[in-house]
Amino acid sequence: MYQIDFSRPKQVHFIGIGGISMSGLAEILMEEGFEVSGSDSQRSELTRHLEEKGARVFYGQQASNIQDGVHVVVYTAAVHPDNPEYQRAQDLGIPMLSRAELLGQMMKNYKYAVGIAGTHGKTTTTSMVTEILLEAGKDPTISVGGILHSIGGNIRVGKSDLFVTEACEYTNSFLSFFPNMEVILNIEEDHLDFFKDLEDIRNSFRLFAARLPEDGVLVINSDINGYEEITQGLSCRVVTVGMREGSDYSAGHITYDTFARDTFDLLVHGEKVETITLGVPGDHNVYNALAAIALCRELGVDMEDIRRGLSQFTGTERRFEKKGEVCGVTIIDDYAHHPREIAATLAAAKNYPHRKLWCVFQPHTYSRTKAFLDAFAESLAAADGVILADIYAARETDTLGVSSADIAVRLEALGTEVRHFSTFDEIETFILENCINGDLLITMGAGDIVKVGERLLGE
């Protein structure tokens, strides 16, 4: 495999430079003195930001974008061998790296390289860790899968020997990483267009944990079913977090303020050491916070900086993000697109002030929808009313014979009020005619459903 020499910056071309992760890696390389070019289907805030930093960005992917001087080409899992830029690079014999391979090479340049993994919660936990490390003056380099306002985007380039990144299991990407500290938040069924089943996913996480060196540290949620199978035989140190008796870090006496934000007693080996107040709602964020606390204590951060960092973290974009109010209706947007995430978000919403809880849900990919039809209905049934948009296809073209109407049928059988509309215009009209003062409306999904709330608010 081609190895980038960070002491001798050259020109790197990114196919799909506008992605949340790819744009971050491109920015890190530019900060290290590399010349960067790339392509994407359309202009966005992320590509505009890169252009302002000095990147050359092409809109539309074609062979001519691979110009003289390119030393290595980076591509994402969404790029196939028939991509014209991919083919051109191969024809010219230009070395190629996947996004994960590049990120793995970057990790080798840091004394402390942290990978935060899990089916859910990666972005929030990485963001919590970021806030704590900034509060502690650790000056980390951060790559996060969302927009974090405190760092002004999805990337922060620090001057210390500490690097923190999300570590995604999809297509086994994180098996190209070289961390010496890891967090595993949870392991559940997802990405079944790639993995065969849950056991296949668990095996991937086992391999990820096994990448840790003998002097490494694994922070893992002990509430993961059979978590010992993941940690068995590891030579590194294992730190457990969760509600299971015997966990190294756990939470007790959880209470909520009027906006559903948690306060809890932090228990270390069963003994209370601090009272923690979160700036974000939801019991699932107590788990995320426990993982962030354990990791940061392993990095030598004191409890006062941890406490302040967590209280100051108010969320990233599209994670229970309050967008505003219209006609007395509060509009929240959330990225949840897996049944467990939906359940966690709606559980948090139950503790938020509201008259009636509405959820506008856009399923993400046909394969995920088909795999979780019953689970989607069961989790969405926690809302008082559900409005379904058509499935957001993302990378897929085969509908697999499934649609949002299949979720609607199951919700009706559960006795939940549900409507299904094919256009955002129809959804917005229904909301304006049926949501009233005091209602809470959550737009939910990993696609473009956020536009519904933004259009209602005139954004």
Catalytic residue positions, numbered: 122-123, 166
Strand-pair category, 112-117 with 162-166: parallel
**Distance of CA 245 to CAs 147, 219, 248, 287, Å?**
35, 16, 9, 14
433: three-class secondary structure by DSSP:
helix
The amino acid present at 222, given as its one-letter code, is S
**175: left (phi > 0), else alpha (psi -120 to 50), else beta?**
alpha
Where do runs of H (alpha helix) occur along 218-260?
Answer: 228-231
With a CB cutoff of 8 Å and minimum separation 6, the contacts of 395 are: 78, 365
Angle at 129 between CA 273 and CA 187, to 5 degrees: 95
Question: Under a CB-based contact definition with an 8 Å cutoff, are residues 168 and 201 in contact?
Answer: no
Query: How many other CB atoms are found less than 10 A from the CB of residue 139?
Result: 14
Start-to-end Cα distance in the chain: 46
Task: Starting at the earlier edge strand, list the strands of the sheet with 153-156.
Answer: 153-156, 141-148, 162-166, 112-117, 181-184, 217-221, 237-241, 249-256, 261-268, 271-281
3-state percent breakdown (helix, strand, coil) of the chain, nearest 5 = 35, 25, 40
Q: Which residues of 100-112 are buried (b: 16+ CB within 10 A; e: fewer)?
A: bbbbbbbbeebeb
Strand-pair category, 35-40 with 11-15: parallel
Angle at 271 between CA 310 and CA 348, to 5 degrees: 40
The amino acid present at 327, given as its one-letter code, is C
Q: How far apart are CA 177 and CA 160, in angstroms?
A: 19
Question: Which two tokens mark 332?
Answer: 């929240």
Where do runs of H (alpha helix) occur along 353-397?
Answer: 366-371, 373-380
Concatenate the DSSP letters of all residues of 93-121 into one string: T--EEEHHHHHHHHHTT-SEEEEEE-SS-
Query: How many other CB atoms are found less than 10 A from the CB of residue 390?
Result: 16
Question: Under a CB-based contact definition with an 8 Å cutoff, are residues 286 and 278 in contact?
Answer: yes
